[in-house]
Amino acid sequence: MVRASSGPSGRRLFKLRLLLSTAATLLAASLVTVSSASPAQDMNADDPRVRIGAAIVLGRTHPPEARTILEKALSDPHPAVRTAAAASLATLGDAAAVPALEKHLATEGSPGVKAQLEASLAQLRSGSAGAAAASAPGAKYLVKLGSMKNLTNVRGEQLTRVMRQSTREKAQTIPGAMLTDAPSDNKMPVLILDGSLTKLAQQQKTDGSIAISAEVEFSVRKSPEHTLKASLSGAATSLGAARSSSNPGVVTSLQDSAVDGAVGSALKNAERGFSIAAAK
């Protein structure tokens, strides 16, 4: 939902709802498990399912040691763990992982793992090239990420990082926007995007499945005056198969998916709100 603060005549409302119920989520619900509160410790577990779950969590939560641990997991004896590690390195978005991915691609024997290694390399190389570009064709304004806050009592800074990464990925796709982190001499307007995770709720359904819903709100400020120019909101629900609630790793993945979906819901049609904010 986008609300541009330009008075009643300029205010437009977009209602967006995203229901996340993918085959990948259901597959994770049946195959992934977590045995401890520490994904780093779980990467040393005997059960490959535990290691897969830990790799997924590391990619989504972005702890400082994640890249090093996932790069090591590229040598795991189980191909599914290597695949999860490669995919999570792409999720991290750290181009410093490119050399490790290239090294393992040269020696990897599993076609499935090789395909993921190639996909992760392509994603990281594309992201690096985009970040290095001085300008983007058709860009009308610069967007900087401001503060991201988790106002729920669930997973604290972990979900804050999930929200920030999701916001970064989706803001890059907004027509007319060019995401930047550094000060710029560019003459284009500069918008600052602040976000809050305002709700994360879990509901047990009668068939034993669970639904996790998330709501987010964003405010758009124009630099350098930092006045509020627009607000955006979004919501999403992720669904888990029966008995998912007893698996901490699956619940974590569903929470991340709900937050990611809510961010996508808020920013999906943000072009109009951003354009109004940039023009004021």
Q: How confident is the model at residue 224 (pLDDT cuts 50, 70, 90)?
A: confident
Name the percent of the chain lying above pLDDT 90: 26
Rounded to the nearest integer, the mean pLDDT of the chain is 78
Q: Which conformational region is residue 190 in: left (phi greater than 0), alpha (psi within -120 to 50 degrees), or beta?
A: beta
Contact status, residue 59 vs residue 91, Cβ threshold 8 Å: yes
Q: What is the pLDDT of residue 5?
A: 41
The answer to whether residue 215 scores a pLDDT higher than 80 is yes
Contact status, residue 69 vs residue 51, Cβ threshold 8 Å: no
| Domain range summary for the chain, segments of one domain joined by + | 1-31+134-280, 32-132
Total count of residues recorded for the chain: 280
The answer to whether residue 22 scores a pLDDT higher than 50 is no
266 vs 176, higher pLDDT:
266
Helix (H, G, I), strand (E, B) or coil at 2: strand
Lowest-confidence range among 71-75, 134-138, 139-143, 241-245? 134-138
Q: What is the pLDDT of residue 7?
A: 39
> CATH assignment of 32-132?
1.25.10.10
The per-residue pLDDT for range 188-211, each reduced to its tens digit, is 888 899 999 999 999 988 888 889
The answer to whether residue 134 scores a pLDDT higher than 80 is no
Q: How confident is the model at residue 8 (pLDDT cuts 50, 70, 90)?
A: very low
**pTM for this prediction:** 0.57
Looking up tokens 């994603």, which residue turns up?
123
Using CA atoms, how far apart are residues 276 and 230, in angstroms rounded to an integer?
8
- Give me the residues paired with residue 220 across strands: 193, 230
Architecture of the structural domain at 1-31+134-280: 2-Layer Sandwich (3.30)
Q: How confident is the model at residue 182 (pLDDT cuts 50, 70, 90)?
A: low
Stretch 76-86: mean pLDDT: 91
Question: Phi and psi at residue 206, in whole multiples of 5°?
Answer: -65, -25
Stretch 133-158: mean pLDDT: 81
4 vs 276, higher pLDDT:
276
Q: What is the pLDDT of residue 185?
A: 55
Q: How confident is the model at residue 280 (pLDDT cuts 50, 70, 90)?
A: low
| Residue 97 DSSP one-character state | G
Residue type, 141: Y
40 vs 193, higher pLDDT:
193
